[in-house]
Amino acid sequence: MGRLFGTDGVRGVANEEPMTPETVVKIGRAVAYLTRDAGRQASIVIGKDTRLTGYMLECALTSGICSMGVDVLLVGPLPTPGIAFIVRSLRADAGVVISASHNPFEDNGIKFFSGDGFKLPDEVEARVEALVLSGEIDAIRPRAREVGKAYRIGDALGRYIEFAKRTIPKGITFKGMRVVVDCAHGAAYKASPTLLRELGAEVVPLNVAPDGFNINAGCGSLHPQGMQAAVREHRADVGCAHDGDADRVILADETGALVDGDQILAMCALDLKRRGALRGDTVVATVMSNVGLEHALTAHGIRLIRTAVGDRYVLEEMLRGNYNLGGEQLQPGGGAVRPRHLPGPQHDGGRAHHGAAGPLPGPAAWQAPLGAPAMHDGAPPGPGQRPGGPAGGPHVAPERAAGARGGRGRPGWQRPTPGPVLRDRAGRAGDGGGGGPGADRGAGPLAGCRHREGTRGVANSRPPPSSRGEPLLRPIPRQGCVAAHPGRAAAARGRSRTRSHRVSCSRCAGKVGVEGVMERAGARRGPRLAVNVDHIATIRQARGGRDPDPVAAAALAELAGAEGIIVQLREDRRHIQDRDLRLLRETVKTRLNLEMAATEEMAGIAASVRPDLVTLVPERRQELTTEGGLEVAGQRRRLTAVVGPLQGAGIPVSLFIDPEEEQAEAAKAVGAAAVELHTGRYAEGRGEAAREALAALIRAARFAAGTGLAVSAGHGLNYANVEPVAAIPEVEELNIGHSIVARAALVGMDRAVREMLTRIRGARG
């Protein structure tokens, strides 16, 4: 037997090597062996599509995994992104999908992904392969009392559908829409129709009667003709066709015509651009995308970056450049992802139209060779204008595209094929397995899995700062100084990001009072929002159960646009637990800020977990919440003993202080990288007391930034009082918890975070 892993897990003809029960048992044992955790009981989720041979392989995997002392959580037929979501929902350590995707019934396969929803790293796959092929795994056997158990998870489908529904903004409705959905007799045969109905659509389901043999047979994304005919017959607004494991989808408009993948990508890009949400005004695609896409995007001031073929290269480029939209054009059967904040079906006189991007070019405009490209309006480039020129034109990522076409950095023309794979970085890998235009919007960090071929989307995520070499608090030079001294712009951009720009000239000093802050409020976008999820854990601990889960709340907050997650691990563990902290470190994709007391125990935990930032706070067991800032000036020696080792280990430290210059100066003296200004007196004050407290915050923020400290603020801030603090130019981040959690209890985390972001960003114009 040769290699086990191919481009998308292990795949082959069922009951022939390597897809035999004997080999699959060994594969399950090897994965479980690498998953085991000596400190706790590990678990692995197993899901599948509707192939008859799935039962055989499910039993084999279960046997192998349990034999290594790891529990198995069986969820049955479920779309691939749904299985990835369940892994997160159940806090499992890994997930397995038994499916051969769009391949015929006779084939089957096994795809693995880790507990965070990404595909297994190449080195882990290589280790699994070595354990199996060398026979080494055969000699590793736990004792009988240590074997694992298998559990059937009965509510997996319901969990996934509810999650997918929550990702769709309330302003988008499917009521009055008629949707044709072809489930290919596969994993989405229940999920997609149910989801669309619950969202208000009238559903015309096709191929939803799996018998174990008919998966992908003349239907689904490989054969969309039946879906197209049904759209016309039933006068539907939209049609969609899945493949066997629902990790891709083909779309058709109300006429039954297939919608070109590049057109969908352009539509999403133009909508995000219109709303000011397209990061860097950039879209990432592969060399398979047509040149017409380039011209359509360039005409709207959007740059296109190309990579080599493969969704992994699209994802890598998006992570590298912090872009939030990318896509891959595949052969028929390719998938479309509709992440949560991309355009979705909207109504216009009772008929659906695609988002709000405006008219898009027809197929002829997209299928233009480089020699005579057609622009989005049918016009060729102007005199001397090279398609994809430097003026906002497309760009080929050289390390991705070089060699992709015979070593040329510039791709040749490729005829587009239906069905893109879209990526929107909202957290983890995700794809359109939920079915239909609404279900595909469920692709988010909890709803997908990054496989080399089968993964389809990453929505609104950011890599941990440690992977980008960036600190949590990234001071921004004062715009006034750069504007007043154009020659300093380059120097300001090149200055270390770990230190604020210290203004030293009279032209930049400006006014000192609240009026001066308001005049400079429009200088930049506004501070980042970091959400504290402690109160989610407080509710959970009140009942002693597992819900609500602060880890899930953090993911939802990130999906909604939060740029940081905060937790306080108190010595009495009254809300956040050690396990929560470990899981958050593994799953938070923005920045994790650990608030803690300055004790030896907490310093050891921080050194082990390695959050992106540690904030030292005062802690008294009798208090309901933190009451006042650290008295830094009076305990410099003690704080230095904690700050020094953490900073030396590469973990930046912030101190939670009252807004006093003396405390900021002391924080600088003990070696802190940042301070968080306590806003409690301002938040609780009224009238003149509140104005005086705000003035103190302004003075303290200016002083602290002038010493080189990064500045954040928080405590007691809510929707009514946040804007004046957000307007302080030196404040780079606002840390808010209780008011957002309280609002989320009424309207959901997504809306609560977005409403707060609206107020923060509105504070600076």
Q: In which region does residue 755 sit, left (phi positive, over 0), alpha (psi from -120 to 50) or beta (all else)?
A: alpha
For residue 765, the model assigns a pLDDT of 63
**Axis crossing angle, helix 550-560 with helix 738-747, rounded to the nearest 10:** 90
pLDDT number for residue 626: 56
High-pLDDT (> 90) share of the chain, %: 49
Q: Are 164 and 410 contacting, i.e. CB atoms less than 8 angstroms apart?
A: no
Nearest Cα residue to 65 out of 156, 151, 5, 154: 151
Q: Which of 55-69, 161-175, 636-650 has the lowest mean pLDDT?
A: 161-175
The pair of three-digit structure tokens given for residue 593, joined into one six-digit string: 């800020």
- pLDDT attached to residue 64: 96
Structure tokens at 273: 């651009």
**What pLDDT is attached to residue 296?**
86
| pLDDT at res. 547 | 83
Lookup: tokens for 752: 């609560």
d(CA 765, CA 760): 10
Name which of 30-39, 275-284, 340-349 the model is least confident about.
340-349
Q: Which residues contact 53 (CB under 8 A, 6 or more apart)?
A: 14, 15, 19, 108
- Tell me which of 449 and 296 has the higher pLDDT: 296
Active site residue ranges: 101
pLDDT tens digits along 276-331: 999 999 999 887 787 778 888 999 999 999 887 666 677 778 878 999 998 876 54
Mean pLDDT of the chain: 76
Residue 193 pLDDT > 70: yes
Q: pLDDT band at residue 220, thresholds of 50, 70 and 90?
A: very high
Q: Looking at residue 320, what is its pLDDT?
A: 84
**Residue 296 corresponds to which tokens in the numbers above?**
């359509």
pTM above 0.85, yes or no: no
Query: Residue type at 529?
Result: L
Query: Would you state the pLDDT for residue 700?
Result: 95
In contact, 160 and 80? CB cutoff 8 Å: no
**Residue partners of 63: CB distance under 8 A and separation at least 6:** 25, 28
Average pLDDT over residues 735-761: 93
- Using one digit for the tens of pLDDT, what is the confidence trace for 620-667? 755 555 567 889 988 888 899 999 999 888 999 999 999 999 999 999
* Phi, psi of 461, deg, nearest 5: -95, 165
pLDDT band at 451 (very low <50, low <70, confident <90, very high): very low
Asked if the model's pLDDT at residue 507 lies above 60, the reply is: no
pLDDT digits (tens, 9 = 90+) for 379-434: 333 333 333 333 333 344 434 333 333 333 333 333 333 333 333 333 333 333 33
Strand partners, 250: 241
Average pLDDT on 493-497 reads 34
Geometric angle at alpha carbon 629, from 623 and 633, rounded to 5°: 130
Q: Which pLDDT score is estimated for 623?
A: 54
Which parts of 22-140 are beta strand (E)? 43-48, 71-77, 94-98, 107-114
Instruction: Please state the rounded mean pLDDT for residues 246-266.
Output: 87
CA torsion 129-130-131-133 (nearest 10°) is: 80
Q: What is the mean pLDDT of residues 40-59?
A: 95
Taking the C-alpha atoms of residue 601 and residue 701, their distance in angstroms, rounded to an integer, is 31
Calculate ∠ Cα 730-553-245, nearest 5°: 125
Residue 503: pLDDT over 70: no
Per-residue pLDDT at 494 exceeds 70: no
More confident residue, 686 or 522: 686
Residue 621, pLDDT score? 55
Q: Which residues are paired to 529 by β-bridges?
A: 734
* Tokens matching residue 468: 């980008």
Q: What is the pLDDT of residues 527-574, one digit of tens each?
A: 999 999 999 999 998 887 778 889 989 999 998 899 999 999 988 888
pLDDT at 124 over 60: yes
Tell which wins on pLDDT, 416 or 619. 619
pLDDT of 170 strictly over 50? yes
Report pLDDT for 38.
63
Tell me what pLDDT residue 546 has.
79
Res 106: pLDDT? 93
C-alpha–C-alpha distance, residues 620 and 115, integer Å: 36
Does the structure show a pLDDT above 70 at 737? Answer: yes
Q: Tokens for 574?
A: 């009254």
Mean pLDDT in residue range 501-530: 44
The pLDDT value given to residue 293: 85
